[in-house]
């Protein structure tokens, strides 16, 4: 059974396929970040610096929990991409169904646990007393929306695994407009404070997920399954958990380092927290293309490993690294020239100290965007190939680097040290990921038995990561 909406990434120009998948992904992630940016802009402008700091103080724990949800869903979609590459359509449907069952269970358990522990987490993070109540009001509502997070990310992950990155974008565009309207209505009209911003985000994502699910059921014939294919299967659930949980832990482990760093920044006072909040929101917006490249390579790697076309993996890696490098240089130039102007979206011009810290953070982190390209491209590529445990270890490297900066440097050197936390984490992850990729490819070529052993030394060099980096 075929469907015009799916896209086979196992044949044709890798660069064109990656670019075609990447562009809708970028716009989708930009609109997703728009959720958070609009929250922050409206909160900062209408509720003040303390409210802005309250929302920002929850950023790392938000990333730890919501990031786990997103990582798990992305992991559940990888076997779907692999079976699509193999053209094993019945197993593809079974993996999609079992991923949905697992998502329901994970969502129920996580929502209950994190909502109960929510305030204690903020206390453990040393959240300043003048903002902890507002921080709790915001993050508690966000955690109530965990089922909506699972719904959208599970559905969109399955659709992307079939090569379609456009459909999830359409619903995100629609829901981003809804999010803006709800933000303004709940904060300005209903006077709901920071909780209103959180409800706007949750409702918008729920609407996006429901409509995306309805569309998928109606238009993706390849996913129309029999009752037998929809029955829970322990073996498949075990496979899905073996990929999904490590991918979720990758996000959470990375976020633990961010939480330690956030706790250190919290100790610097609410002004530094506000600066970190605004700078992080801007930085995350500019980092969307890196995330999009990563998600693209997960699908690309999954389909091509399923089709056993190892040579295309190296070719795709080269194309993605080149794209990411070009964007990194452009982003650095934009932030250098217009960083202060962008920060004024979140802050008033008389907040001179905070604006200076925001610009400092943006310039330092954007200087290290090229290492971030490698983190996203290589990590998600090996995840798509089925080696998600390696990505967890890369997350451990990131966590250790951020934690070291938070524990050792921020108390001594202040906000300047916090600016180097993410670059340190990216470099630490790369030092693990690049050798991992090389060892994985060497093993796969050896197991496959032919292509690499039968090619020349020149061809081996061309397909290796070292060869790619030389040409970059």
Q: DSSP letter string over 374-397?
A: HHHHHHHHHHHTT-HHHHHHHHHH
Q: What is the pLDDT of residue 5?
A: 62
Q: What is the pLDDT of residue 266?
A: 79
Q: What is the pLDDT of residue 455?
A: 39
Say if residue 436's pLDDT is above 90: yes
To 10 degrees, what angle do helices 49-57 and 59-86 make?
A: 50
- What token pair was written down for 191? 């006077």
Q: What is the pLDDT of residue 449?
A: 64
pTM of the model: 0.73
Q: Which is nearest to 426 in space by CA: 390, 407, 406, 400?
A: 400
Highest mean pLDDT among 59-63, 300-304, 422-426, 462-466: 422-426
Say if residue 469's pLDDT is above 70: no
Q: What is the pLDDT of residue 260?
A: 78
pLDDT range class, residue 279, cuts 50, 70, 90: confident
- What token pair was written down for 4? 């015009």
Per-residue pLDDT averaged across 235-244, rounded?
Answer: 90
Say if residue 32's pLDDT is above 70: no
Q: What is the pLDDT of residue 453?
A: 36
449: left (phi over 0), alpha (psi -120 to 50) or beta: left
- What token pair was written down for 213? 């699910």
Say if residue 2's pLDDT is above 60: no
Say if residue 112's pLDDT is above 90: yes
Of 143-157, 225-239, 326-340, 458-472, the poorest mean pLDDT is in: 458-472
Residues of the chain above pLDDT 90, percent: 28
Mean pLDDT of the chain: 84
Say if residue 88's pLDDT is above 60: yes
**What are the residue boundaries of the structural domains of the chain, listed by start?**
14-471
Please enumerate in sequence order all residues whose Cβ is within 8 A of that of 379, keeping only pairs 6 or more positions apart, or say none.
250, 294, 391, 394, 429, 433
Per-residue pLDDT averaged across 451-468, rounded?
Answer: 43
Say if residue 347's pLDDT is above 80: no
Q: What is the pLDDT of residue 328?
A: 95
Is 311 within 8 Å of 444 (Cβ atoms)? no
pLDDT range class, residue 258, cuts 50, 70, 90: confident
Q: Which residue has the higher pLDDT, 264 or 466?
A: 264
Distance CA 419, CA 405 (A): 9
- What token pair was written down for 135? 């921080």
Buried b (16+ CB within 10 A) or exposed e, 146-173: bbbbbbbbbbbbbbbbbbbbbbbbbbbb
Please enumerate in sequence order all residues whose Cβ is within 8 A of that of 98, keeping only pairs 6 or more positions apart, or say none.
232, 233, 236, 237, 240
Of 307-316, 330-339, 457-466, the poorest mean pLDDT is in: 457-466
DSSP 8-class letter at 165:
-
Q: What is the pLDDT of residue 450?
A: 45
């Amino acid at each position: 059974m075929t469907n015009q909406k799916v896209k086979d990434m196992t044949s044709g120009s890798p660069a064109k396929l990656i670019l075609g998948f990447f562009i809708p992904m970028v716009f989708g992630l930009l609109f997703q970040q728009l959720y958070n940016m609009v929250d922050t802009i409206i909160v900062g402008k209408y509720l003040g610096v303390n409210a802005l700091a309250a929302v920002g103080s929850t950023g790392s724990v938000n990333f730890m929990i919501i990031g786990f949800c997103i990582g798990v869903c992305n992991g559940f979609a990888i076997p779907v991409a692999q079976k699509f590459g193999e053209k094993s359509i019945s197993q593809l449907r079974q993996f999609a169904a079992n991923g949905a069952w697992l998502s329901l269970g994970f969502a129920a358990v996580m929502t209950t646990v994190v909502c109960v522990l929510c305030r204690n987490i903020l206390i453990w993070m040393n959240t300043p007393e003048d903002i902890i109540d507002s921080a709790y009001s915001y993050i508690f509502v966000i955690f109530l929306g965990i089922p909506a997070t699972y719904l959208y990310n599970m559905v969109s992950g399955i659709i992307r695994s079939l090569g379609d990155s456009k459909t999830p974008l359409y619903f995100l565009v629609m829901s981003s407009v809804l999010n803006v309207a709800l933000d303004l209505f709940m904060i300005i009209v209903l006077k709901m404070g920071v909780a209103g911003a959180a409800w706007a985000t949750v409702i918008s994502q729920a609407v996006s997920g429901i409509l995306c699910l309805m569309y998928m059921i109606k238009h993706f014939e390849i996913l129309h399954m029999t009752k037998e294919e929809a029955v829970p299967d322990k073996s498949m659930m075990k496979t899905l958990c073996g990929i999904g949980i490590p991918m979720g832990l990758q996000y959470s482990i990375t976020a633990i380092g961010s939480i330690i760093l956030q706790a250190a920044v919290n100790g610097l006072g609410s002004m530094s927290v506000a600066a970190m909040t605004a700078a992080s929101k801007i930085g995350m917006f500019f980092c969307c293309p890196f995330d999009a490249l990563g998600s693209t390579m997960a699908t690309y790697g999954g389909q091509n490993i399923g089709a056993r076309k190892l040579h295309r993996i190296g070719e795709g890696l080269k194309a993605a690294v080149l794209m990411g490098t070009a964007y990194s240089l452009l982003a650095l130039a934009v932030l250098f020239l217009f960083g202060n102007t962008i920060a004024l979206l979140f802050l008033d011009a008389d907040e001179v100290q905070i604006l200076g810290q925001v610009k400092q953070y943006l310039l330092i982190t954007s200087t290290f965007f090229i290492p971030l390209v490698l983190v996203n491209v290589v990590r998600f590529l090996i995840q798509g190939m089925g080696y998600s445990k390696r990505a967890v270890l890369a997350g451990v490297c990131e966590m250790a680097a951020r934690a070291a900066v938070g524990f050792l440097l921020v108390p001594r050197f202040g906000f300047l040290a916090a600016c180097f936390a993410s670059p340190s984490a990216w470099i630490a992850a790369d030092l693990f990921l690049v050798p991992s990729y090389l060892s994985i490819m060497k093993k796969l070529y050896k197991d496959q038995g032919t292509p690499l052993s039968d090619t020349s030394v020149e061809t081996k060099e061309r397909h290796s990561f070292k060869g790619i980096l030389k040409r970059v």
